[in-house]
Amino acid sequence: MNQLLDENIQNQVRQALSPMEEPVHVLFFGSQNDCEYCDDTRQLLEEVTSLSDKLSLGIHDIDSDADLARQFGVDKTPGIVLAGKEGDVITDYGIRFAGIPAGHEFGSLIQGLLLISSRNSGLSQATKEQIKLIQKPVLLQVFATPT
Amino acid sequence: MLAHKMAMENPLIQAEAIDAVEFPELSRKHNVSGVPQTTINDGAGHVVGAVPETNLLAAILQSVK
């Protein structure tokens, strides 16, 4: 199969991921039914996660791994979860993608990996304090286009 | 992305980056015209465009009041 990331891009991504500190685990959720971008998304994640030894990838199916999908709040395919990893313990930070992270979203994917790897949101202290006070569930859905 | 950073700070917050092209029904439901658009709690709030963290925070706080 052809590579999605050519050698030039691979080098750029490797460079971008070089400041990674802590390990990050990526969960991919695909589907056998009507999922046009699942194969490409899976391949893209396989290629990206091979570019840093701090990255690992789990391949899952939204139907046969329904409990896991529910646990991580995944209800669309292709679905991606970026999580922390301490030894065998996976930490969910509620950070997901729905759809192939190509184009502009590819940058968001790389940023997300770096974000979790740093274990620090980088938000201002004032914002952090206000966010921590929220006691109701919040779902933020950020619509973007790949171009 | 800002929403992902917010999610990191509170386990009750989840942030999902959605490809509007692949999920047209959901995009239509939330009247996505300009991107990025952030929809809070299935329509309780909307933020259009890339905004500073204080703006998104204010919209979130308003939505969970």
How high is the pLDDT of residue A146? 64
- CATH code for position A18: 3.40.30.10
Contact A138 B12 (CB under 8 A): yes
User: Residue ranges of the alpha helices (H) in A18-146?
Assistant: 38-49, 66-71, 104-118, 125-132
Q: Pick one of 3.40.50.1100, 3.40.30.10, 3.90.550.10, 3.40.50.300 as the CATH number of B2-63.
A: 3.40.30.10
Residue A1 inside a domain? The answer is: no
ipTM attached to this prediction = 0.97
Phi-psi region of A73 (alpha: psi -120 to 50; beta: other; left: phi over 0): left
Residue A141 inside a domain? The answer is: no
Residue B26 confidence class, pLDDT cut points 50, 70, 90? very high
Report the number of distinct structural domains present in chain A.
1
Give the closest of B11, B23, B42 to A94, CB-based.
B11
How high is the pLDDT of residue A1? 66
DSSP 8-state code for residue A88 = T
State pTM to two decimals.
0.95
Average pLDDT of A117-134? Answer: 97
Q: Which residue range forms the structural domain that includes residue A126? A: 7-132
- B7 chain-A contacts, CB cut-off 8 A: 93-95, 140
Which structure tokens are listed for A44? 């893209």
In tens, the pLDDT along B31-41 reads 998 889 999 99
Contact A134 B54 (CB under 8 A): no
* B46 near A CB under 8 A: no
In tens, the pLDDT along A4-53 reads 999 999 999 999 999 999 999 999 999 999 899 999 999 999 999 999 99
* B33 near A CB under 8 A: no
Residue B46 confidence class, pLDDT cut points 50, 70, 90? very high
In degrees, rounded to 5, the angle at the alpha carbon of residue B1 between the alpha carbons of residues A146 and B3 is 110
The domain ranges of chain B are 2-63
Contact B8 A121 (CB under 8 A): yes
Give me the sign of the Cα torsion angle B13, A145, B32, A38: negative
> What CA dihedral angle connects A131, B40, A91 and A110, to 10 degrees?
-100
Average pLDDT of B42-58? Answer: 95
Nearest CA in chain A to B12: A137
